[in-house]
Amino acid sequence: MAKAITLKDVAREAGVHISTASRALNEETRSGLSAETADRVIATAERLGYQPHPLARGLRTNRTRSVGMVVPDLISPFIPPILAGAQHTLSEVGYSLLIGSDDESSPRTRPAVETFLERRVDGLIVANAHLEFTPPDAVQRREVPTVLVSRCVADGSFPAIVGDDQAALSLVVRHLVELGHTRIAHVAGPLDISTGLFRRDGFINALAEEGLAASDCRVFEAGSFHSEDGHAACSRLLDSGDGYTAIVAANDLLALGCIDAIQERGLSVPRDLSVTGYDDIALVDRLDPALTTISLPYEEMGVVAGRLLLDLLASDVETVETPHEPKRLAPTLFVRSSTGSVGST
C-alpha cells in the first residue's frame, strides 16, 4: 500500500517550511504569503495528491500554530520518545512544538506554563503534573486546551494519556510469585505523583490477586524517581531485616539504585534478591544482570496525546466535562536475568 502523502512531503517538494505550506493550503491564512509561494504550494499539493489530515479540518484560525510541552527535565529516559511522538503528530498539521522544563519538585508546574501562555501557544501538553496540578487561571478555565501525558491529576480535571500501571504491576507480581517469591517489597516513587501512587496501588492490588498477605510485603517510598533515592530506599529495606526475596521498583532508575545497594553489601542479584524495574530504558538489557522490567509504548503515548490535543483544538466547544478517565496504554513485561527462583544459585 502506498504511503500517504503528508504536509511535510508537500513542504519539502515545494521548498518551503511546513508552517508555510500549512498557511498556503488554508484559504484564511494564505493572504499573508506571496502569490507565487501560495500557488507553488497549492500546485505541489495537487500534483502529489495530498489530502489534509482529518484532525486538521475545522481548526480555528487566529492561532500561533504552536503547542507548548512541559517536561520534568530533558534527560529522563522516557521523555525523548514522548516528545518524538507528539512532534510527529503535531508537525503533520503544521504545528510547532515548543519545549519547556519545570522542576518536578514544585507541584504547581507554573514557570514554563506561564512562559508558554505569554507566547500565546494554542495548547499545552504537560508531562510533569503532580496529582494536585494547579496551573494558571487561563488553563483552569480551559481557555488553552491542555492534555497530560504520563501523568494524571487526582480530580480527573484534565484528559490524560498514561500507562496501565495496574496491568503492569499484575504482570510483575505474577512473574515473581511463579518464581516462588512470597516476601516482596516495593520501592515506590513519590506518592504525590500519579505514577508513584498508581504503581504503589497496583502493587498492593496485585498482591491481593496473588493471595499474598500485605503484612509480608512492605512499601518503601523513595524521594524521587532517580537512582540515588532508589539506593537510599533499598538501604532502608535491607536494614529492616525482614527477609524480602524480591524488590519491585517503580522505575528502572530506582531499580538500578536498588541493585547498587544490594551489591555494596556483598549480596547478589538475583541469587539473594530478585529486582524488577519499569520503563525498559536504553541499555538495561545490557547490564549484568540484565533488568527484568515493564515496557510502555512511550512514543505512542506522545502520538495519542498530540491527537487528543488536536481534537480539542479543532472543536469550537470548550471541553468542560469532568472527570476525565485517563486513556491507559498496555504494558509489556520483559523477563531478563535480574529475576530468578527463590534460593537459586
Q: Which residues does residue 68 pair with via DSSP β-bridges, in sequence order?
A: 98, 124
Helix, coil or strand: residue 264: helix
Of 105 and 262, more confident: 262
The CB density around residue 102, as the number of other CB atoms within 10 Å, is 21
Q: What is the pLDDT at residue 1? A: 46
Q: Please say if the pLDDT value at position 51 is more than 90.
A: no
* Mean pLDDT value across residues 60-76: 82
Where in the chain is CATH 3.40.50.2300?
66-162+298-329, 165-296
Top-confidence residue, 320 or 199: 199
How sure is the predictor about 322, in pLDDT bands with cuts at 50, 70 and 90?
A: low
pLDDT at 6: 80
Global model pTM greater than 0.85? no
Is 258 in contact with 187 (CB distance < 8 Å)? yes
Burial of 27 from C-beta contacts in 10 A (0-12 / 13-18 / 19+)? exposed
Residue 306 predicted with pLDDT over 70: yes
Residue ranges of the chain that CATH labels 1.10.260.40: 7-52
pLDDT over 50 (residue 198): yes
Question: What's the chain's average pLDDT?
Answer: 89
Is domain 66-162+298-329 classified as CATH 3.30.365.10? no
Name the pLDDT band for 319 (thresholds 50, 70, 90). very low
Class of domain 165-296: alpha beta
Helix axes 227-240, 252-264, angle to 10 degrees: 50
Domain at 7-52, CATH homologous superfamily: lambda repressor-like DNA-binding domains (1.10.260.40)
Q: What average pLDDT score do residues 273-290 get?
A: 96
pLDDT value at 162 more than 90 = yes
52 CB-side CA count, 13 A: 15
pLDDT of res. 40 = 94
The CA distance from 326 to 6, in Å, is 29
Integer Cα distance of 148 and 301 in angstroms: 10
Least confident of 5-19, 208-222, 281-295, 314-328: 314-328
